[in-house]
Structure formats: structure tokens, C-alpha cells
């Protein structure tokens, strides 16, 4: 490479992203999506669990800038790679705001989380996977939502009532999102939500276990409406949880559609209403 060529590489380059934009339209979220990255999550039984997340990172963009600097998101992610844990998330968002000159920053991480589970009769041990998501944002205040998707078995109460030879059942997913005052264990939320279906789902079952969970589901029929109400009742009893949204979806075994129900409650607002009425 000649001296002239080297000089050309070192010469200042125009920053196109900072160029003015005259359309006068601010952008709420701009950034990068679906980055695969290792993170560390707190584990109730083993202190920490290493997993791999799909990461989304965004900032707001004022109307007078043409674009944001996409590469800086990955730089920040790499700089924080050893501390991408829940207790470090606010600091990471603050770093994103500062590096990109933004007034708000958003960080989403979806990842598999594994919990050791014993079959109900044989005691056979296996790892059960639960899909979790961290949804965090920082503008003036820090906001964090924990989301967990819990698979369950549900047995149709209507089918049980009408049929002479059993009832149809299906696998469903109960999705819960929570805001909380102090740390909430993923394991505790999973345990509470699994009680809301007709029967839990397991990775490994022996024949005696299959008999048990099938009969358990038959004795505990649940509509999606039942499941979200049961989940809501349990979350209302958790003093640490300040807000929640819970939904249930059954992947119907005799219909070409899913059944769905959802409840959202802000416990702080509900408490204020109850106090006024009292």
C-alpha cells in the first residue's frame, strides 16, 4: 500500500448518520434486532445459569438526525459481555443512552432457561426448558418487565361433561409478565403458574408418570379462562409483584384454531381505587 493510499484511509470520513433530516419526524425506536449473545442469569439452585439470548437494542432518534450509529450497539454489547445480568441492565442502558446521545434506550433479551424437574411418580429427573424474556427501558426512570412462557396441559371441561369416553386435552402456554419491587426468582413464578393448568408438562415421563398426569388432568379440567384467572389470583397474592399481565393459549386438539384469554392488572392502581372506595 502506498503512502497516498494510507493517508486516504486515515483521512476524516463524513458522519452520514449525523447529517440533518428535514422531514421533522422523530423516531421512537431505532437500533438492532436478533443478535445472538451469551448472558448470565441468576439461578435459584445453582447461583448462576449461562444461556444464549436473542438481543434487541434500541434508542429514540430526534427528528433533526438522519440516522443512528448501528455499530455502537454491538460495541456496547461486547463491552458489557461479562456483566449482561439482570442487576447490570440499568447501567448498560445508561451506557447506550450516553454513547448514542439518546434520551431513551431499550433492551430486550429472549433466552431459554432450564429447570431440573422430577417426574411425579418415578422421580425421573430431566431438564425442562422455559422461554424467558427481559424487557427493559431507561428514559428518566428505569423500567423492567420479566416475561416467562410456561407450557401446561389443559383438559376441556365441556368435553369432559359431554363425552362418554373421556375428554379432549391439549398443550397450552401460559405467558406471564411482571413488574416487581424486589428480585423475583424465575423458578418461583414457574411453580406458581404451573398450578394453573390441568397438569404440568414434563420432559421425561415413565409409564406410571403418564398415568398420573393423564388422570390428574382429567380430574382438573380447565378452560383458558380458568387458567388466566387462577394465575391472576396467585399473582395478586404476591406482595412483591406490582403489575402483571397474564395470557393463556391452548393449541386446540379438535379445532383448527387456538383458544385465548388474557388479564392485566396494575396492583398499585387497584390498591388506590380500593382505598378510595373503603
Model confidence at 88, in pLDDT bands (50, 70, 90)? confident
Q: How many domains does the chain have?
A: 2
Q: Is 12 within the bounds of a domain?
A: no
Q: Note the pLDDT of residue 205.
A: 95
Q: Is 175 within the bounds of a domain?
A: yes
100 shares its domain with 160: no
Q: Note the pLDDT of residue 278.
A: 30
Q: Give the span between the Cα atoms of 143 and 145, in whole angstroms.
A: 7
84 shares its domain with 145: no
Q: Note the pLDDT of residue 273.
A: 38
Q: Is 8 within the bounds of a domain?
A: no
Q: Is 47 within the bounds of a domain?
A: yes
Model confidence at 272, in pLDDT bands (50, 70, 90)? very low
* pLDDT tens-digit series, residues 30-50: 999 999 998 888 888 888 889
Q: Which of 90, 112, 134 is the last residue of a domain?
A: 112
264 shares its domain with 232: yes
Q: Identify the residue whose cell numbers are 448470565.
A: 40
75 shares its domain with 185: no
Q: Which of 55, 78, 112 is the last residue of a domain?
A: 112
CATH number of the structural domain spanning residue 77: 3.10.270.10
267 shares its domain with 147: yes
Q: Is 7 within the bounds of a domain?
A: no
Cite the DSSP H helix spans in the chain: 3-10, 70-79, 89-100, 157-162, 186-194, 207-218, 224-236, 267-277
154 shares its domain with 276: yes
**If you average pLDDT over residues 264-274, what whole number do you get?**
72
103 shares its domain with 171: no
Give buried/exposed letters for 240-259 (b at 16+ CB in 10 A, else e).
ebbbbbbbbbbebeeeeeeb
Residue 12 pLDDT exceeds 80: no
The DSSP 8-state label assigned to residue 195 in this structure reads T
Q: Is 275 within the bounds of a domain?
A: yes
Of the two residues 65 and 111, the one the predictor is more confident about is 111
Residue 235: phi, psi to the nearest 5? Answer: -70, -30
Residue 157 pLDDT exceeds 60: yes
Q: Is 177 within the bounds of a domain?
A: yes
271 shares its domain with 206: yes
56 shares its domain with 169: no
Share of the chain above pLDDT 70, in %: 86
98 shares its domain with 178: no
Q: Note the pLDDT of residue 106.
A: 96
* pLDDT tens-digit series, residues 163-198: 888 898 899 999 999 999 988 999 999 999 999 999
**If you average pLDDT over residues 88-114, what whole number do you get?**
92
126 shares its domain with 154: yes
- Domain of residue 217 covers 119-278
Look at residue 238 and give its three-state secondary structure: coil
The DSSP 8-state label assigned to residue 134 in this structure reads E
Q: Is 13 within the bounds of a domain?
A: no
Q: Which of 94, 112, 130 is the last residue of a domain?
A: 112
* pLDDT tens-digit series, residues 191-248: 999 999 999 999 999 999 999 999 999 999 999 999 999 999 999 999 999 999 999 9
Instruction: State pTM to two decimals.
Output: 0.86
150 shares its domain with 261: yes
Q: If we measure between CA atoms, which residue out of 220, 152, 219, 157 comes closest to residue 192? A: 152
Q: If we measure between CA atoms, which residue out of 114, 112, 55 comes closest to residue 89? A: 55
Amino acid at each position: 500500500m502506498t503512502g497516498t493510499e494510507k493517508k486516504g484511509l486515515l483521512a476524516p470520513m463524513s458522519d452520514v448518520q449525523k447529517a440533518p433530516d428535514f422531514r421533522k419526524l422523530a423516531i421512537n425506536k431505532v437500533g438492532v434486532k436478533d443478535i445472538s449473545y451469551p448472558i448470565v442469569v441468576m439461578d435459584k439452585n445453582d447461583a448462576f445459569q449461562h444461556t444464549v439470548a436473542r438481543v434487541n437494542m434500541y434508542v429514540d432518534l430526534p427528528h433533526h438526525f438522519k440516522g443512528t450509529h448501528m455499530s455502537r450497539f454491538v460495541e456496547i454489547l461486547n463491552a458489557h459481555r461479562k456483566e449482561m445480568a439482570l442487576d447490570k441492565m440499568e447501567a448498560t442502558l445508561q451506557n447506550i443512552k450516553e454513547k448514542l446521545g439518546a434520551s431513551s434506550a431499550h433492551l430486550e433479551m429472549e433466552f431459554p432457561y432450564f429447570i431440573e424437574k422430577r417426574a411425579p411418580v418415578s422421580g425421573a429427573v430431566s431438564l425442562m426448558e422455559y422461554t424467558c424474556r427481559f424487557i427493559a427501558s431507561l428514559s428518566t426512570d428505569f423500567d423492567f418487565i420479566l416475561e416467562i412462557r410456561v407450557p401446561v396441559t389443559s383438559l376441556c371441561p365441556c368435553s369432559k361433561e359431554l363425552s362418554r369416553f373421556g375428554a379432549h386435552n391439549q398443550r397450552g402456554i401460559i405467558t406471564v409478565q411482571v413488574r416487581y419491587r424486589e428480585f423475583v426468582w424465575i423458578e418461583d413464578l414457574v411453580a406458581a403458574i404451573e398450578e394453573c393448568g390441568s397438569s404440568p408438562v414434563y420432559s421425561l415421563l415413565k409409564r406410571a408418570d403418564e398415568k398420573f398426569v393423564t388422570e390428574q388432568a382429567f380430574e382438573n379440567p380447565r378452560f383458558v379462562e380458568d387458567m388466566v384467572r387462577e394465575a391472576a389470583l396467585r399473582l395478586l397474592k404476591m406482595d412483591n409483584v406490582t403489575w402483571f399481565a397474564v395470557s393463556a393459549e391452548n393449541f386446540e386438539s379438535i379445532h383448527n384454531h387456538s383458544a385465548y384469554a388474557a388479564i392485566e392488572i396494575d396492583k398499585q392502581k387497584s390498591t388506590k381505587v380500593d382505598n378510595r372506595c373503603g
